[in-house]
Amino acid sequence: MSDSFQAFSHYKLSASEMILLPLSVEYAQQLCTWRYEPPYDLYNWPAWEDMQKDEIEFGDPVLRHNQYAAIVNKQAVLIGFAQFFPIVGVTRIGLGLLPELCGNGNGAVFAAFLAQEAGRRTPDNEIDLEVLTWNKRAIRAYEHAGFCIEDTYSRPVPSGPPEAEFHCMVYRPKSS
């Protein structure tokens, strides 16, 4: 557990304290040490050495540079990451929040922050994300951030059963 957040299970993120940076090797190594409790443990990354050797996701330096970002707080503590995956006409967001900050109402602020960044990067693209249909906690957070379920489908997954059911959620913020 991160020493910075161990005593702060009530810690609430705000968009004003989140800073988006390139995902450095040091931050990538930290992500590989994060451990989520079951059933969310399927989101745990392999060891950094394996990710580099096999060039998995942010273990590939080109992919890390082109698609990944670190989200830190004002004290430069890594609190999350994002992947901005380009698809024709769409920016798909992949995201992860520091395990100690999960389940405490931080997901909506975090997801909205990343959706706004995706919109800034690619203003003409639709913004979406995928979420496992059983992950009700994440679905609620994404809905509060302005995402809506647009599709449900099965696709292969890297760990667990050969396929799993996902929702595709599209960012449709309410007008102010």
Structural domains of the chain in order of their starting residue, each with its CATH number? 15-171 (3.40.630.30)
pLDDT per residue over 138-149, tens digit each?
999 999 999 999
| Cα–Cα distance for residue pair 95/111, rounded to 1 Å | 8
pLDDT at 158: 75
pLDDT at 2: 45
pLDDT per residue over 61-94, tens digit each?
999 999 999 999 999 999 999 999 999 999 999 9
> For 106, phi and psi rounded to 5 degrees?
-95, -15
Contact yes or no for 138/45 (Cβ under 8 A): no
Side chain identity at residue 98, one-letter code: L
Flag residues of the chain having pLDDT under 50: 1-8, 176
pLDDT at 12: 82
Residue that has been written with the tokens 């409790």 in this structure: 37
| Cα–Cα distance for residue pair 14/20, rounded to 1 Å | 13
pLDDT at 147: 98
